[in-house]
Amino acid sequence: MDIFCKIINGEVPTYKLYEDEIVLAFLDVNPNHNGHTLIVPKKHYENFFDIDEETLRHILLIGKNIAKELKEKLNYDGISLCQNNGYGQEVKHFHLHLIPKYENENKLSVEEIYNILK
Q: What is the rounded CA–CA span in Å between residue 103 and residue 88?
A: 27
- Residue 97: active-site member: no
- Give the active site residue among 33, 36, 58, 95: 95
**Contact call for residues 19 and 3 (beta carbons, < 8 A):** no
- Count CB atoms within 10 A of the CB of residue 73: 13
Backbone angles phi, psi at 26, to 5 degrees: -150, 160
- Count CB atoms within 10 A of the CB of residue 12: 12
Residues contacting 4, CB < 8 A, separation 6+ = 38, 40, 91, 93, 95
Residues labelled as active-site residues: 95
